Structure 1
Amino acid sequence: MNNLTEIVKEQLEKAIKDRGEVNILVAGKTGVGKSTLINAVFQGNYAETGQGKPVTQNTRKITKEDIPLSIYDTRGLELKEFKNNLKEIEDLVKELKSDKDPKKHIHAAWICIDENSRRVEDAEIELCEMLSNHMPVIGVITKCISDNDFRAEVQNILVQSKNVVRTNSISRILDDGHVIQPTGLENLVDLTMEVIPEGQQKAFAAAQKISVKQKLNKAHGIVAASAASAAATGAVPIPFSDAVALVPIQVGMLASITAVFGMEIKKSFLATLVSSTLTGAGATLAGKTIVANLLKFFPGAGSVAGGAISASTAAFLTTAFGEAYIGTLNHLTKNKNINEIGTEEIIKEFKSRLKIREQKAVN
């Protein structure tokens, strides 16, 4: 158990490091709905419960523990001193961009414009022009009710933006009783995912709560990479060499999937998850690995055959574990926030899904 504890600790730290961090700059006039937008898109009621730290006179950096995201909230677009504010923002962006650690850079910007204003201010145009020299910029039209070609107008004016997205962050009831539903948020998440660096995509997938598709895409990628590593380990023609080596790969895979789904990752949870499945529901699948290892005792062709079978089995076993875990989290998060789900609930569902895969493998 001590060995397992050390493996869990090591792989957990690696998963968090590999997930990385993402930084988004959000700009807009007072009352445009930035805080509502941030809370609608990201985990944890971010704009209200996050910790805000002033980094310039008109910009705050908002962070929250266990969420791999920093929001740079830029204010003062409506002030007469905007020219000074613009230089202040650019100096900050340049300073962060010069850091050798890409996790410190600002990776994308959202410029928010209230649809009800029906105009794009000079400050918003200048800000878009400046920021686009350093990062991808997305125009975000907020509080949307009726387009009337305003989106096309914004696109024509903010020519440096990657795209313009119409959004409505929360449900609203109009004076005539008509209900406006939240809209455009998934488009905003998908577009942001496209433009940010690949190294920040896992962090963004974890931090946002709108698109399960983005979490699933990254999680399936983790399983595929882990299965390839497991196959390479299993192909080594040394008896039982892969039995120990596969454990860190699979623990790391589960840790990385947990991280990309945006769960609060705890060593105790991961250790319980791994130990309960390896000693319980995973027995049939694990037995296949042992059989493949026995073939490695035969020299010559038998050794090569054993390695080849074990590589296939190792990849199969790792994929089964990974996809069952993805299915578990996807199923349980349909009606609950990810951090509202208990350990026992996850393990029960995970074992059930592994059992189904085992039965298919046996048959």
Structure 2
Amino acid sequence: MSEINIGETVKRALEEAMRERGHANVLIAGRTGVGKSTLINSMFQGRFASTGQGRPVTDATREISKPGIPITIFDTRGLEMAEFANTLTQLKTFVAARCRDRDARQHIHVAWVCIAEDLRRVEEAETSLVDMLAEFVPVLGVVTKARADQGFRAEVQRLLPRAVNVVRVRSLAEELDDGHQLPSMGLNDLVQATADLIPEGQRRAFVAAQKVDLELKRKTSHMIVGGAAAAAAGVGGVPIPFADAALLIPIQVGMISGITATYGLALSNGFLSAVLASVAGGTITTLSGRAIVGGLLKLLPGLGSAAGGAIAATTAAALTTAFGAGYIAALDALFAKHKGEPPTEAEVLAALASLQRG
């Protein structure tokens, strides 16, 4: 019976998942009162923005990050200040230096310039800011507090020609004085527009950190499953004697690590080991290929323990797909329940246990 050391396998998978997920950096700028903090909190996991939070990187820009969330926000204020020219100069120096860094994870990957719809105007400072930022990074205009467009979005796009796109958003639902309800809007559009602009190497980090578009997390995760299934089919083509099924386990662990990272769950050896142990029905450090794959086979309708003495390519691919799809479905339901915020590890393990029983 082949055996693998789960701890070592998980450690390697975690390192690869972290490397592939990367880290995204978003610069958000706008005048005081345009709703930047509300927008940030509505978009990203973990109540990201709070008053006074962040490390100063220039006189008017603060760096905001949280452990376990693979994104950094650079919040620039002071566009209405008399010394805006100095603010712009400092910001240009900062952004240029970041974008020259040899480590792509240090670059500013996209910028949002926020303009409140109720102000109905674009200031010279905002035009100058977009023109400067566009020299280094893709820029999105974000019309905040959207209630009645009346052609304002098109006007913003006309006045900010170097902005790649302009997106209208309402971060929170509102009730007007007449009792009319306005639901939140535009956040999914902003997620998609941003994801399209962020470099591929950092896109998964943005997908993980955002909490608005679960469909984007789901699609990205299913791509990971597809890659793992293809790899499993290649291994299964040997074919694999059932006792040597441990050859599949590094593929399974890598897949689960990638999905976990994509959904924005905390990456830890203990959690991923517990996921595998939950599937295999044990909690020991070293698990046999037979035990783990035997647990995974329960996820294949009509197959169960009747896989025979070998795992063929089609079975290996189906096994991997079933495990990945089941894990995605469990996470999807939990994230929807928590409105995009991560569930606890206990909730995830309970959902997987329920999937096994089903």
TM-score, normalised with respect to structure 2: 0.88
> Does the residue aligned with 1:133 lie in a helix, a strand or coil?
coil
After superposition, the Cα gap between the structure-2 partners of 1:70 and 1:92, relative to the gap in structure 1 and judged at 3 Å, is same
What is the match of residue 26 of structure 2? 24
Higher mean C-alpha deviation, range 262-271 or range 37-46: 262-271
Give 1:350's match in structure 2, choosing from 337, 349, 352: 352
Distance (Å, rounded) in 2 between the aligned partners of 1:50 and 1:107:
24
Corresponding residue number in structure 1 for 2:174 = 172
Query: Which structure's residues are more often helix, by fraction?
Result: 1
1:282 pairs with 2:300: no
Judging changes above 3 Å, is the alpha-carbon distance between structure 1 residues 33 and 146 closer, same or farther for their aligned structure 2 residues? same
Do 1:138 and 1:161's aligned partners in 2 also have CA atoms closer than 8 Å? Answer: yes
Q: Which of residues 115, 118, 126 is equivalent to 1:116? A: 118
- What is the rounded CA distance, in whole Å, between the counterparts of 1:51 and 1:311 in structure 2? 52
With structure 1 as the length reference, what TM-score do the two structures score?
0.87
Distance 2:213 2:47 in 1: 16
Preserved CA contact (<8 Å) 1:20 1:200: yes
1:90 pairs, out of 75, 89, 92, with 92
Q: 1:35-67, CA deviations, whole angstroms, 9 ceiling, x for partnerless residues?
A: 011011111110118951111111111000100
Helix, strand or coil at the partner of 1:175: coil
Matches within 5 A, 1:1-363: 3-48=5-50, 52-236=54-238, 243-279=245-281, 281-284=295-298, 287=305, 291-293=309-311, 310-337=312-339, 341-354=343-356
Q: Deviations over 1:61-110 (max 9, x none)?
A: 10001000000111121122222211211111111111111111011010
* Structure 1 pair 149–99 and aligned structure 2 pair: CA distance change class (3 A): same
Whole-Å separation in 1 of the counterparts to 2:151 and 2:58: 36
- Contact 2:214/2:340 (<8 A) preserved: no
Q: What displacement does 1:289 show?
A: 6.4
Look up the equivalent residue of 2:316 and give its one-letter code: A
Per-residue deviation, 1:171? 2.1
Partner SS for 1:259 = helix
Please give the alpha-carbon distance, in whole angstroms, between the structure 1 residues aligned to 2:42 and 2:52.
14
Partner of 1:299: none
Alignment CA distance shift 1:214-1:150 (3 Å): same
The aligned amino acid for 2:49 is A
CA contact (8 A) 2:241 2:309 kept: no
Rounded to whole Å, the distance in 1 between the matches of 2:295 and 2:241 is: 24
Please say if residues 27 and 111 of structure 1, whose CA atoms lie closer than 8 Å, have aligned partners that are also in contact.
yes
For residue 64 of structure 1, give the secondary structure of its aligned residue in structure 2.
coil
* Structure 2: unaligned runs, 5 residues or longer: 282-293
The CA deviation at 1:282 is: 2.2
Deviation for aligned residue 1:160: 1.0
Structure 1, unaligned runs of 5 or more: 294-309, 357-363
User: How many residues end up aligned between the 2 structures?
Assistant: 340
Task: Describe the shift of the 1:124–1:340 C-alpha distance in structure 2 as closer, same or farther (beyond 3 A).
Answer: closer
Partners in 1 of 2:14 and 2:64 — Cα distance? 25
Identity %: 47
Within 2, Cα distance between the matches of 1:215 and 1:5?
27
Query: How far has the Cα of 1:10 moved from its partner?
Result: 2.1
In the alignment, the residues of structure 2 paired with residue 163 and residue 101 of structure 1 have an alpha-carbon distance, to the nearest angstrom, of: 27
- CA distances 1:209-260 after superposition (whole Å, capped 9, x unpaired): 1101110111011101111222222234675696222111101111111111
- For 1:100 and 1:50, the matched residues in 2 are separated by 31
Decide whether aligned partners of structure 1 residues 75 and 345 sit closer, same or farther in structure 2, where only a CA change above 3 A counts: closer
Shift of 1:13: 2.5
**Cα deviation code 1:120-142 (max 9, x no counterpart):** 01111111111112111110011
- Residue type of the alignment partner of 2:174: R
Q: Pick 1 or 2: higher relative contact order, CA cutoff 8 A, min separation 6.
A: 2
Across the aligned residues of Structure 1 and Structure 2, the Cα RMSD in angstroms comes to 2.3
- CA deviations 1:165-185 (Å, max 9, x no partner) are 111111223233333221111
Structure 2 Cα separation of the partners of residues 330 and 228 of structure 1: 23
The answer on whether the counterparts of 1:51 and 1:64 sit within 8 Å (CA) in structure 2 is no
